Chain A
Amino acid sequence: MSPAALTITEATVDFGAGPVLDQVSLDVAAGEFVCVVGASGSGKTTLLNAIAGLVELDGGTVAVDGRRVTGPGPDRAVVFQDDAVFPWLSVARNAAFGLETQGVGKAERRTRVTDVLATVGLTGSEERWPRELSGGMRKRVDLARALAVRPPVLLMDEPYGALDMLTKERLQADLDRIVSHEGMTVVFITHDLEEAVFLADRVIVLASHPGRVAAEIRVPFARPRDPELRLTPDFQAVRGEVLHHLQAVETTA
């Protein structure tokens, strides 16, 4: 499926103790990869859930290709911050879940599951139970389940936050390759600036209390990217810029 444009217009969310998101506006072009960074509690997860349709807005709108979002749906697949793999289903059945709810036929389902598991590097683990997998492999299952429905928009909430550096870098490189190849629109939340700069076309800095867009930094490197890019001065310069904005937000908050 072709990527969709995402339009967030003055989105406001208030759980009752003052706004968590205050009139956040953000346009994400079709096929763009946007990373959102911000301090803990700045409302990153809330923003993602609002896009996913899991949190109701108290003001403003979210639209996918101009159609207003009113609830969750498979056009915006989510990889959650916490482990969301269904432990009672095998790896292959997990990956097939969205296809089954969408009524995709059995033969088609099988080829798509095989493809998506190969894409995320889980070939050979089809029949294993999630409890038999490492944390990194479980995240791959989460990703495979989301990718299998070929979502126009992919939403990811600190998916690699709990992993060691090497696993993380490998998964980042894989994600970069997959997303660039499939041409999906991605909103990716992280507090790891290197991760943000490595993955994104654009990094959004969220300020806290209330959450609002404080800065936007363009990342001028073509995707997919070489992991060695991290070591270049250009990369570190962009990372420094993001850090600078983040620090500015934190000191004024």
Chain B
Amino acid sequence: MTAVPANAAAPVRPRRRPRVGARRLALRAVVPLTLIGLWCLLSYGGIVDPLYLPSPTEMWNAFNELRADLPSAIATTVGMTLTGFVIGTALGVSLGLLMAYSSIARDLLSDVLDLTRPVPVFALIPLFLLWFGIGRGPQIALIALGTSVILGVTTLEAIRNVNPIHVRAALTLGASRGTIYRRVVLPSIFPHLLGAIRVAAAASWGLDVAAELIGSQNGLGYLMIVRQQYLDTAGILVVVVVYAVLALALDRAIVWLERPLTRWTHRDQRAGVAASILGRA
């Protein structure tokens, strides 16, 4: 496929060689280094008030101040977010499968889902507080609700896109309805679900922040409110960085966990083919 015709007398556009490692690395460093440079210039140069943009030194100091509080805050937040995310994912996928499988479930739930899907989950936070009070339970429930909607909708959509020929083939091989759901539908939709699971994971951190900002006594979000009351911008930024690191770690973990389950898909290859045609622009 990548062979270049030997009789290259005709004006064939030369295939661009992949950039050498060092040069690519340098190119990729340009934007981050510029941003960091700009940050140092603005903060150390006294161009922007530290209330709005603290310097790296101030952030390091703030980090040292928060150090004692961070472990328990992280534990609380991670525990809550992961619990809500896992419950919501399981619930969403199960509901999607149930609605595809059973017409009774579909008739019962589809209108409710269609009507509630566009409602922003964040708008429900005050109601949750009112109904369930402050505490871990309602916060986990909120995260679970948000993730389950994302996954329920994606699951239903993915099931609609299952290749009918696979279902027919299974039918002619004597598979029952249950077997088809387990052995054809589920593996078919799995690669599509993974994208949604990653989106839901990212969203669950956002839901956690919102839930904590409004009603909690512990956790990273709560820590942020406290720092805000002290007008400690550097402290807030430190917590933001912690959230970012946690979200990134969860995302990487999901990708790592799914890899053995999606080895059969084309994904890597397809990216490779597209890149070989379009160039590594």
Measured CB to CB, the residues of A under 8 A from B are 52-54, 71-74, 76-78, 80, 82-84, 86-89, 97-98, 101-102, 129-131, 145-146, 149
Contacts and interface: CB of A to CB of B under 8 A. Distances in A.
Closest 4 CB pairs of A and B: A74-B174, A98-B173, A88-B187, A72-B171
A86 B166 contact: yes
10 contacts: A72-B168, A76-B172, A80-B169, A86-B184, A88-B264, A97-B183, A129-B263, A130-B264, A131-B266, A149-B174
A74 B264 contact: no
Interface in B138-182: 165-166, 168-176, 179
Contacts of B265: 87, 131
A80 B263 contact: no
A97 B170 contact: yes
A101 B264 contact: no
Interface of A is mostly: loop
A80 B173 contact: no
Nearest to A80: B165
B188 A88 contact: yes
B165 A82 contact: yes
B229 interface: no
Contact of B165 (A74, A76, A84, A97): A84
Given A87-B264, A129-B263, A74 B166 contact: no
A145 B187 CA distance: 18
B269 interface: yes
B173 A74 contact: yes
Nearest to A81: B165
Nearest to B184: A86
Chain A CB within 10 Å, residue with most, of B172, B173, B179: B172
B269 A131 contact: yes
Contacts of A83: 165
Given A88-B264, A129-B263, A74 B184 contact: no
Interface residues of B, number: 22
Contacts of A78: 168-169, 172
Given A129-B264, A131-B264, A131-B266, A84 B173 contact: no
A53 B173 CA distance: 12
Nearest to A73: B174
Nearest to B165: A84
B266 A101 contact: no
A38 to B, nearest CB: 21
Given A72-B171, A97-B175, A129-B264, 8 more contacts: A72-B168, A84-B166, A88-B264, A89-B264, A101-B173, A131-B264, A131-B265, A145-B173
Chain B CB within 10 Å, residue with most, of A76, A98, A130: A98
A54 B167 CA distance: 11
Contacts of A72: 168, 171-172
Contacts of B174: 73-74, 98, 101-102, 149
Contacts of B176: 101
A89 B263 CA distance: 10
A86 B184 CA distance: 8
A71 B173 CA distance: 12
A197 to B, nearest CB: 27
A72 B169 CA distance: 9
Contacts of B171: 54, 71-72
B173 to A, nearest CB: 4
Chain B CB within 10 Å, residue with most, of A76, A80, A97: A97
B187 A84 contact: no
Contacts of A54: 168, 171-172
Nearest to A145: B173
Contacts of B169: 78, 80, 84, 86, 145
B166 A101 contact: no
